[in-house]
Amino acid sequence: MSGASDGAEANWILRHPQMKELQVGDSEQIHAAFLVYMDLTEVRRWKEVSCVKIPDLQAVLLEAQEKDGGPVYTVLPLPVHQSLSHRSIRQALDRGFPLLLCAVASDSTLVYQRMTDGLVTPVPPVGPFEDEGRRQRRKRRQQQR
């Protein structure tokens, strides 16, 4: 919408207690981090969500658990038009937890991708698999001709 409401919106966000602490680096990235923070805490209700400043990356990471006592994730929020390097991903992974990369679109849509160190075998497709019978196959071949 118009600039006025945007301005008010931005001010509101800046007045949030969490946001006040995070004054490192890129304001866009901080905005993205804030949106992800709100999503994790209010919408998904994850536990122990905290913010971590990483000066090397000029970014704010979040650390959170899905449930109490569950595995800890590092979350890297980034505006979707930005770019990143494999090195920065490795730096985030070096914290020792699996990484959730969160892409924040201009309309505040959030997409989470999971990143892990090493080679993770994918989940195989689920059975049961039905082999098609001969009649089905013949029908298909005729259709293709």
Q: Which residues bind another protein (CB under 8 A)?
A: 44, 78-87, 89-90, 93, 100-101, 103, 111-125
In angstroms, give the least distance from the CB of 30 to another protein.
Answer: 16
130 dihedral zone (left: phi>0; alpha: psi -120 to 50; beta) = beta
Which position has the token pair 């979040």?
A: 62
Neighbours of 20 (CB within 10 A): 9
In the numeric block, which tokens belong to residue 135? 């009649």
In angstroms, give the least distance from the CB of 13 to another protein.
Answer: 22
In angstroms, give the least distance from the CB of 70 to another protein.
Answer: 14
Residues in the chain: 145
Is the Cβ of residue 18 or residue 88 nearer to another protein in the bound state?
A: 88
Is the Cβ of residue 124 or residue 127 nearer to another protein in the bound state?
A: 124
